[in-house]
Structures are given as C-alpha cells and as structure tokens.
Structure 1
Amino acid sequence: MSKKDVDDYLTEGMYGTRLPKDNERKQFLGTLRERIVLVLTKGQVMSNKGLEALEQAMKDNPKSKLIINGHVSYRFQKEEKALANKYNIEHSTITNEEQSDTDIGAVLTYDYAIDKEQIFIQEEPNQEELKHDASPPILSKIKNWFK
C-alpha cells in the first residue's frame, strides 16, 4: 500500500474517509446490496405497489430496519412507515444529495451481510398492458386491409 500524500489527507479531511463500494452505497441509500432483504423503487413507494411484499418481509425479518429515500414526498412514505411501526421495525429517512439520482425508494436491510439473491419485487403487468401486448402488430393490421 502506498503512503498517503498531502492531497489524500486534504481530501479525507474535506469529504471524509472513502468507504468501500461507495457507488453501491449511493444507489442503495447508504447500505450494501449484500445486506438487503427487499428493495422498493420510487415508483413502487409512490403507488403503494409492493406493500404486501414489504409487510411479509417485515414479518419474516423482525430485526431488520427500513431506510426510506427522503427525496420521495412524505405523503407517499406514510404507508411504509406505518408498516414499520406496526412490526416494531426501526426506520429512517435519508435525504442526501448523493442519493438524489437513485431510483430506489425504500430498502429493508440488516447491519450485516445476508446475501439474498432476489431483492427486487417482480411486478406483474396490469390488464391494460396485457391487452396492448396481445394486439397484433401494425403491419398485420395493414395486411388485413388489403385481403
């Protein structure tokens, strides 16, 4: 390991000690992926999709904690906070400018690694999307006009 020079000390003094996997911490609201039980995107938090999965995860992991992105409006955070209170799960809101560019809305996590494979909720398409996908392509419609 190389010796620190003056620039390293100045940078550390101004910005703090560099943490390993800093980009991962910015994406997942200050925690590491290996510690996460469940992740909700901002869209899932704002539309209350994933509340059932979050509730089940809280039941299964009573010693976890919930981290909520502070860049999501408070009115959208109420349901998640109410669930955390219901199951006595510690929760906090992170409002950090470094986390403003992430799409993550809430994270249920531990302070240690659990290495869970699937942390994102798989959303089922709604009926409108299914109808849209089932419609024939535009070229097929045009061909039918000329038959």
Structure 2
Amino acid sequence: MGKNIDDYIDKGLKGTPETKPSERREYLSQLRERIILALTNGQVIQQKPYKPISDLMKRYPSSKLYLDGDLDYMHLSKYIRIANENNIPFTIVDDKASSTNIGLVLANPTAIDKDDIFVSREEFQRHL
C-alpha cells in the first residue's frame, strides 16, 4: 500500500514518466518506431522542399509533422504549407534543453518500425 502512495506522490510532483527520453529529444519529441520520414536541418533549409513528403502525407493521413523550432520560420513555412494542403497537423518543437540535427519528422500515431527513415543527400537532390 505504501508503494502505491509513494508512486502517486512522485507522479504528482514529477509528472508521468516519459518513455525513451533521449530518443524523444533526438527525434523532435517522437519515438523512432513511429517515424515515417526524418530530414536533417541541412535538408530542411534547402530552397526547395523535398517533394515526396506530400505523397507520404497522402499515404499516412493520420500522420503529424514536427519541425525544429531552432530553424528560421522561412525554412519551415514551405513544409507547413505542404502539411496544410494535405490536412496534416504540425507542431513546431521548441526544446531549448536539447539540440538535434533533425529538422523535420513526419510521424505516425502508432508504431510502423520503418527501417530507413532518413533521406540520403543524393536522393534528396534527385527529388527537389
């Protein structure tokens, strides 16, 4: 009985424990197993957006877009526009406590365990 009370007090003081916090910091608050696509900061700041992201949004209509709030809005706006066109909600993640090279994450609400979530430099250039 005492353990349950201690757990209840801890939860009240510290909040609900977060699963895989280091993974969530790296992937803009998302778990790796839910990620459909991840772009680096360098890819997000390119002048033109990565075109296949629109097709992925159509294929995963319940997905959500997460963008790194450390990047200038000018670079994020092209992906926000694509998300709006596809009725995909987005969140700008502004986590000052962590630094990541990930600029964009398109994530599913449930696990999909996709093997390759990153886009190579060559593939990215091919789809501009």
TM-score of the superposition, structure 1-length normalised? 0.71
Cα distance change of structure 1 residues 11 and 102 upon mapping to structure 2, 3 Å threshold: farther
AA of the residue aligned to 2:108: Y
Distance in 1, Cα, partners of 2:88 & 2:33: 19
- Structure (1 or 2) with the greater helix fraction: 1
Cα distance change of structure 1 residues 9 and 96 upon mapping to structure 2, 3 Å threshold: farther
Aligned to 1:42: 41
Equivalent position SS for 2:76: helix
Aligned to 1:135: none
Aligned to 2:95: 96
Distance in 2, Cα, partners of 1:49 & 1:16: 41
| Displacement of 1:112 | 0.9
1:66/1:106 contact within 8 Å kept: yes
Cα distance change of structure 1 residues 49 and 123 upon mapping to structure 2, 3 Å threshold: farther
Aligned to 1:21: 20
Which structure is larger by alpha-carbon Rg, 1 or 2? 1
AA of the residue aligned to 1:104: I
Aligned to 1:79: 78
TM-score of the superposition, structure 2-length normalised? 0.81
Cα distance change of structure 1 residues 22 and 122 upon mapping to structure 2, 3 Å threshold: same
| Displacement of 1:17 | 3.2
| Displacement of 1:51 | 1.5
Equivalent position SS for 1:38: strand
Distance in 2, Cα, partners of 1:42 & 1:105: 4
* Sequence identity percentage: 39
AA of the residue aligned to 1:67: Y
5+ residue gaps in structure 2?
124-128
Equivalent position SS for 2:67: strand
| Displacement of 1:57 | 1.3
1:46/1:76 contact within 8 Å kept: yes
2:49/2:78 contact within 8 Å kept: no
Equivalent position SS for 1:124: helix
AA of the residue aligned to 2:71: V
Higher relative contact order (CA 8 A, sep 6+): 2
Aligned to 1:33: 32
5+ residue gaps in structure 1?
126-147
